[in-house]
Structure 1
Amino acid sequence: MSTTQSERLRELLEPLVSAHGLDLEEIAVDSVGRKRVLRVVVDSDTGADLDRIADVSRALSAKLDETDAMGAGEYTLEVGTPGAERPLTEPRHYERATGRLAKFQLAQGGELVARILTVDAEGVDLEVPGVKGRRPTARRLTFEDIAKARVQVEFGRKDDKNSSTSSENDKEEEEA
């Protein structure tokens, strides 16, 4: 049995989030004065539009009201998506960021900014932009090579190869 409140909340809420076709990415309980705020972050491979977020928010609120998972005090429930500059912590996050530019903190030190081309069970294939007119180069990182990674926001991307990916990502950023 779980011991922390976040673990108990995850066990309680994850099945409801999954039933709505979403992944439960994060749960955080923060104190704001005398009130508490329960922040729930959800996402999916196809994104999470406002209607889906509203539906899952109502389901989570109803479940929390019928249990004592948040205790007797007042709290506010906030349900949202990871946002445009989301951290990449799971293989599915990298998969969702295919075609996007990301900043990688390397486990051996240093950092790298590159576009995610493909993802598999062991790691990611990247395109590192060329410097001073040089051509981009390919690079492979295993997940063990990566200490941290975060999607970067791009404005005015001129790459037409991924125009469908770019327009889908632009929609996601507007929704987030």
Structure 2
Amino acid sequence: MGRQVKDIVTELVKPIVANKGLELVDVEYQKEGENWILRIYIDKEDGVTLENCQDVSRELSTQLDVEDPIDHSYMLEVSSPGIDRPLKKDKDFTRFTGELVEVSTYAPVNGKKELTGELLGLEEDSIKLKVDDEEILIPRSKVAQTKLAVEV
């Protein structure tokens, strides 16, 4: 099919989200059970409303009908990334410096593949984390996922 659905949808949704003063956090396109799900995660500084999600969904649906990049049925979901928001872009790491985060790695770092600590930001191409009063640099190439930790 040439370009991947995720890339095409990302290009379509970016201007829609930007025009509404929102941030595009992520686009996922995956099969869950019998259904294909196209998920768009949006955010803004003071939180996303249901109306924000509906507006983006309506506009994107129109664009998807015109462009028709998906040749089978799917469900479109537009939502907030939630309280355990994934951190992917450099600006995410800057915005959430000082917050508690969970980092999952492909290979052990300091003997662990799951680290939880205070995000100190980015340093060169590594995530700087404070774990048990020790500063750790985790190369981004080893990181499977970084997300905000949910404190209970």
TM more than 0.5: yes
Higher strand fraction (1 or 2): 2
Question: Is the contact made by 2:28 and 2:39 (CA closer than 8 Å) also made in structure 1?
Answer: yes
Alignment of 1:139 with 2:135, yes or no, is yes
* Structure 1 equivalent of residue 76 of structure 2: 77
Distance 1:67 1:11 in 2: 11
2:118 aligned to 115, 127, 148, which one? 115
* Structure 1 equivalent of residue 86 of structure 2: 87
Question: Is the contact made by 1:43 and 1:82 (CA closer than 8 Å) also made in structure 2?
Answer: yes
Gaps (5+ residues) in structure 2?
Answer: none
SS in 1 for 2:28: strand
Most deviating of 100-109 and 12-21 = 100-109
Q: Output the TM-score relative to the length of structure 1.
A: 0.64
Identity %: 28
SS in 2 for 1:23: strand
Larger Rg belongs to: 1
Write the letter of the residue equivalent to 1:12: L
TM-align CA RMSD: 3.0
Q: Output the TM-score relative to the length of structure 2.
A: 0.71
| Cα deviations by residue, 1:87-122 (Å, 9 ceiling, x for unpaired) | 323222223333321122455532432112x42563
Using a 3 Å threshold, how does the CA distance of structure 1 residues 112 and 39 change in structure 2: closer, same or farther? closer
| Cα deviations by residue, 1:32-53 (Å, 9 ceiling, x for unpaired) | 53x5332212234443232322
Question: What is the aligned residue count?
Answer: 145
